[in-house]
């Protein structure tokens, strides 16, 4: 049974969106082979747009090509998470510090942060993560440097590749993150020096990484600490 092609989208874009959703959703787990002909039949397209979509996914880090195997869904190790968060700390720090932010954009960012705060009562880590991503990209997308914006978008895609929510692992970090967003917005509205904004935005991202590292290093129940 084929999946109908969505109107208004190219076949390549359609194949890309379907494959990416399946990877993020876990239907195609790490190491899963992507057989072009089989996927093409399922989607009701030729193998060409599927191949183009997979090449795009490869460029974004979702797919790897292994000799004698072909296209496979990439794995995302803890080291990759650390490297991605460290890169985003540097990239986002500079992007936010140099962004051209209007009052309307800051108002929207405050609304998103308020929505994140509302999720804390009955915590939804995936919903919180979606809002958090929107908050960060809203501010970074106003950077005047298109290369920087592109790098940030790609690094966020790598976080998606982990197929998990950081805030599922460290839910206590969510409230701290909201409070840090408040302070970041206060600095931006006050016209704080760029270096102050950059340092705060960088440390905000690294604080999340430290929380994850601390959780990962914690002993399992029943284990003794040295």
Q: Hey, what CATH topology would domain 78-217 get?
A: 1.20.120
pLDDT at 2 over 50: no
Q: How confident is the model at residue 78 (pLDDT cuts 50, 70, 90)?
A: low
Instruction: Give me the DSSP letters along 46-70.
Output: -HHHHHHHHHHHHHTTSEEEETTTE
Q: How confident is the model at residue 90 (pLDDT cuts 50, 70, 90)?
A: very high
CATH 1.10.10.10 fits 11-73, yes or no: yes
- CA 223 vs CA 199, 219, 220: distances in Å: 37, 6, 5
Mean pLDDT of the chain: 87
- CA 17 vs CA 12, 21, 202: distances in Å: 9, 6, 31
* Tens digit of each residue's pLDDT (9 = 90 or more) over 4-45: 555 557 999 999 999 988 887 678 877 889 999 999 999 999
Q: Which residue has the higher pLDDT, 186 or 130?
A: 186
pTM of this structure: 0.69
Q: First-to-last CA distance in the chain?
A: 57
Intrachain domains 11-73 and 78-217 with the same fold = no
Residue ranges per structural domain of the chain = 11-73, 78-217
């Amino acid at each position: 049974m084929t999946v109908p092609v969505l109107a208004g989208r190219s076949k390549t874009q359609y194949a890309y969106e379907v494959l990416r959703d399946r990877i993020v959703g876990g239907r195609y787990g790490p190491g899963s082979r992507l057989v072009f002909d089989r996927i093409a039949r399922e989607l009701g397209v030729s193998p060409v747009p599927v191949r183009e979509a997979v090449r795009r996914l490869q460029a974004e880090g979702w797919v790897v090509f292994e000799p004698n195997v072909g296209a496979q869904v990439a794995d995302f190790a803890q080291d990759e998470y650390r490297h991605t968060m460290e890169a985003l700390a540097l990239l986002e720090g500079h992007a936010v510090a140099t962004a051209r932010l209007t009052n309307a954009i800051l108002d929207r960012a405050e609304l998103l942060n308020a929505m994140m705060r509302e999720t804390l009562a009955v915590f939804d880590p995936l919903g919180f993560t979606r809002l958090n991503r929107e908050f960060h990209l809203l501010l970074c997308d106003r950077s005047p440097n298109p290369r920087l914006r592109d790098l940030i978008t790609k690094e966020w895609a790598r976080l998606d590749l982990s197929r998990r929510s950081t805030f599922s692992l460290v839910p206590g970090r969510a409230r701290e993150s909201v409070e840090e967003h408040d302070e970041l917005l206060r600095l931006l509205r006050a016209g704080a020096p760029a270096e102050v904004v950059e340092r705060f935005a960088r440390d905000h991202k690294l604080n999340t990484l430290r929380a994850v590292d601390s959780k990962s290093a914690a002993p399992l129940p029943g284990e003794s600490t040295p």
